């Protein structure tokens, strides 16, 4: 998360130290623009495909994660090139997955098995601004890849957020 901190600070955001999560905020008029890293609430219980997180950016009355108000997810604010860079890292994470565990596949019906195995398929179509893109990871190597890319994309994302949210 420290890799993102400098980028947020450069755009006038302050880290919310009182929060257990990674949360940054900056005032805009009488409200705040708040950004936070949100892990999934449903990681892979079987340990095959790992977990995922997103970065949310919203404007609202309170400087806290989950603030109610208009907002965007990180990738909605990227241009086509940025989304392609995200897709490249996403596919690198997927390529590093080990084979799906046979012990798990034996317990799933056909439909559930197909859905589970689909999580190991490469993202072949370009992401659009409407895709709900979560940053997938299984290990430190995956997180390192994300935290090398995301700070490079952050200035453009925060610029787009400033235009749309104030």
Q: What is the pLDDT at residue 21?
A: 80
pLDDT in tens, 33-61: 999 999 998 889 888 999 999 999 999 99
Domain total in the chain: 1
Q: What is the pLDDT at residue 38?
A: 93
Domain containing residue 95: 2-165
Contacts of 60 (CB under 8 A, 6+ apart): 31, 32, 34, 67, 68, 69
What CA–CA distances, in Å, run from 156 to 77, 83, 151?
A: 8, 12, 10
The number of beta carbons lying within 10 Å of the beta carbon of residue 35 is 26
Q: What is the pLDDT at residue 17?
A: 80
pLDDT in tens, 101-157: 999 999 999 999 999 999 999 999 999 999 999 999 999 999 999 999 999 999 999
């Amino acid at each position: 998360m420290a890799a993102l901190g400098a980028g947020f600070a450069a755009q006038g955001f302050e880290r919310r130290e009182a929060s257990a999560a990674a949360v940054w905020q900056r005032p805009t008029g009488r409200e705040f623009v708040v950004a936070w890293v949100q892990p999934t609430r449903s990681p892979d219980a079987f340990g095959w495909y790992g977990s995922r997180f997103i970065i949310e950016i919203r404007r609202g009355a309170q400087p806290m994660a989950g603030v109610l108000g208009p907002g965007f997810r990180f990738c909605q604010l990227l241009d086509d090139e940025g989304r392609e860079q995200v897709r490249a890292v996403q596919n690198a994470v997927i390529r590093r997955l080990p084979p799906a565990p046979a012990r798990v596949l034996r317990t799933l019906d056909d439909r559930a098995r197909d859905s589970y195995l689909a999580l190991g398929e490469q993202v072949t179509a370009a992401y659009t601004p409407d895709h709900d893109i979560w940053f997938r990871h299984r290990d430190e190597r995956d997180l390192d890849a994300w935290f090398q890319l995301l700070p490079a994309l952050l200035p453009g994302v925060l610029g787009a957020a400033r235009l749309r949210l104030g």
